[in-house]
Amino acid sequence: MSHEAKYVPPKRYPFTEDKIFGWVMENQEFCLYLLQIILPDLNIKEIVEFQKQDAMGNDDREAKDIRLDIKVVDDQGRIFDIEMQTTASVYLGRRIRYYQSMIDGDRILKAGEYYSQLPDTYIIFLCSEDPSRAFNKPDNKAVHFFRTIDAKDSDLELNDGSTKVIINSKGDFAGESDKLKELAKLMNDEEVSLNEHFIWAQNRVDELNKDRRSNIVSYERNKNEWLIEGEGQGILKGRAEGLTNLIIILGESDFSDEQIFAKVKSRYGKYFTDEQIKQFMDEAKLGV
């Protein structure tokens, strides 16, 4: 009887993997093509500025920095941020809101400049998992465009120049273009054949799995280590935020300090000392 180990093929990293996505998208011809099929009405002609993994933040060391996957400016000055999202998150909308604020903050108006000089912005999230957890109700449509509208009159739009696009590769593409359907296939790691753009992209993914595999494996390993390290810090921060929110809610409900302390301690006493809980209560009163 043979006891030879069964061959297990190496893991294939798809278009949606961080490094693969960045390397494929740095081909500006393909990047431009994706923008054109996602936003056909804009008649995008040329990319004049391209940045991959663009770090954005501010001078406050306590502020959360973000790193845009792909940031593009076209010949009309419009800004496009293209992000790959591989997990379902209920906070996707808030993440987009934060990205929007950082993109706007990066374009500070100087004295004498006008609000009209702020560029139109398009934040595009390519989601390989259902993004509708971030919506106010389940929705299986594949393509969503969000703008600022009047909650009392959905036909009334505030012209603030910002558009958010969310594409769900697992969603329903009925009524969408064949090109967007092919993009979904590429994201789902299915065979593509519609045109030379997608065939090139899939071939490029294959090449990168061979030629840059060690870089990808190293990056993924480091990313997992970062996530594990950050998870411990995030859990503690989340508990502190939950404790603070509970103090505020109880305070607004006219509970006494003694009652608030007792209720907070019963829930968070195994994570924080009495002195820490009292400090949180004092800070909540001061609005810190």
pLDDT per position as a tens digit, 202-233: 999 999 999 998 888 887 777 666 555 555 56
Decide: helix, strand or coil at residue 92.
Answer: helix
With a CB cutoff of 8 Å and minimum separation 6, the contacts of 12 are 189, 209
With a CB cutoff of 8 Å and minimum separation 6, the contacts of 286 are none
Residue 260: left if φ>0, alpha if ψ -120 to 50, beta else—which one? alpha
H or E segment and range at residue 81: strand 79-85
Average pLDDT for 244-260: 81
Give the whole-angstrom CA distance, residue 278 versus residue 265.
10
What are all long-range contacts of 269-273, with beta carbons under 8 Å and residues at least 24 apart? 271/236, 271/239, 272/239, 272/240, 272/243
Average pLDDT for 25-43: 98
Average pLDDT for 88-92: 89
Q: What pLDDT sits at residue 6?
A: 63
pLDDT at 235 over 50: yes
CB 183 within 8 A of CB 141: no
| pTM passes above 0.85 | no
CB 268 within 8 A of CB 243: yes
| Most confident residue range from 86-90, 234-238, 281-285 | 86-90
Give the residue from 77, 177, 188 showing the smallest Cα distance to 126.
188
pLDDT category at 61 given cuts 50, 70, 90 is: very low
For the chain, the average pLDDT equals 86
Strands 162-168 vs 121-127: parallel, antiparallel or unpaired? parallel
Q: What pLDDT sits at residue 60?
A: 46
Average pLDDT for 169-187: 98
pLDDT at 72 over 70: yes
